[in-house]
Chains A and B, each alone.
Chain A
């Protein structure tokens, strides 16, 4: 087994980000898209914490703290929007939300 260094953590973060990105682009359920968004934010957090650890600098951890707070606010607003949308349209699928399409 190789010793786990910075590049290992970055590879894990990259793979997790890719999974989230594919989920955002390919899935059609609004809730699952939101969860994939959370995966991408978590991947960024992991990269920041690894960088902060291996560079001997705590600023990255402060930034992760801020990101977690902003993500919580974003989830609250986004889920309220989804609930409001569901009341009007009775659906949480992006294919049923095409009013703005030409």
Chain B
């Protein structure tokens, strides 16, 4: 049953991810954003399969909720006209393919060298929220507080950037 859901969610994730980047039917950024929402939601399903329930909730609340609403707001604010078909540069495709091939080489090399396999021991970890919160507020409390400073800096920066008369 879990395997069925794994294949279902990963197929959904990859299909919608492909449609974000290369949609044969529409070149509208709104369509890409909608498929990105679907990708993120099915990835939250994968997180649930990995027993990371809190992260699945955060993924849907923060990513599919806040970040994607921000994306859609900006797309509608910019009011981009239906963009004409621009020719895709061959250089971009070639360099993209080359970098993907390089990463694939590293990935396959490390996967074949590692000792994983059917005999690998799976340590069951309780991914419930309580141990995660304990870890976050004991061992990682300093990075957590630094993160709040980062969010404040980002907020001030965004307000400054969106002022019309930037001095």
**Interfacial residues, chain A to chain B (CB-CB below 8 A):** 1-10, 12, 14-29, 31-32, 34-36, 38-39, 42, 45-46, 49-50, 52-59, 61-62, 64-66, 68-77, 79-84, 86-87, 92-93, 95
| B155 with A35: CB separation less than 8 A | no
Majority secondary structure of chain B interface residues (helix, strand, loop or mixed): helix
**Known contacts A65-B55, A66-B147, A73-B150, A54 near B122 by CB under 8 Å:** yes
A66 to B155: give the CA distance in the assembly, Å. 17
**Known contacts A16-B14, A76-B155, A95-B86, A61 near B132 by CB under 8 Å:** yes
| A19 with B21: CB separation less than 8 A | yes
A72 to B69: give the CA distance in the assembly, Å. 11
| Count, chain B residues at interface, CB 8 A | 81
Contact of A62 among B7, B29, B71, B140 (CB under 8 A): B140
| B36 with A39: CB separation less than 8 A | yes
**Known contacts A53-B127, A83-B78, A35 near B67 by CB under 8 Å:** no
Specify which of A57, A61, A81 lies most central, judged by the most chain B CB atoms within 10 Å of its CB.
Answer: A61
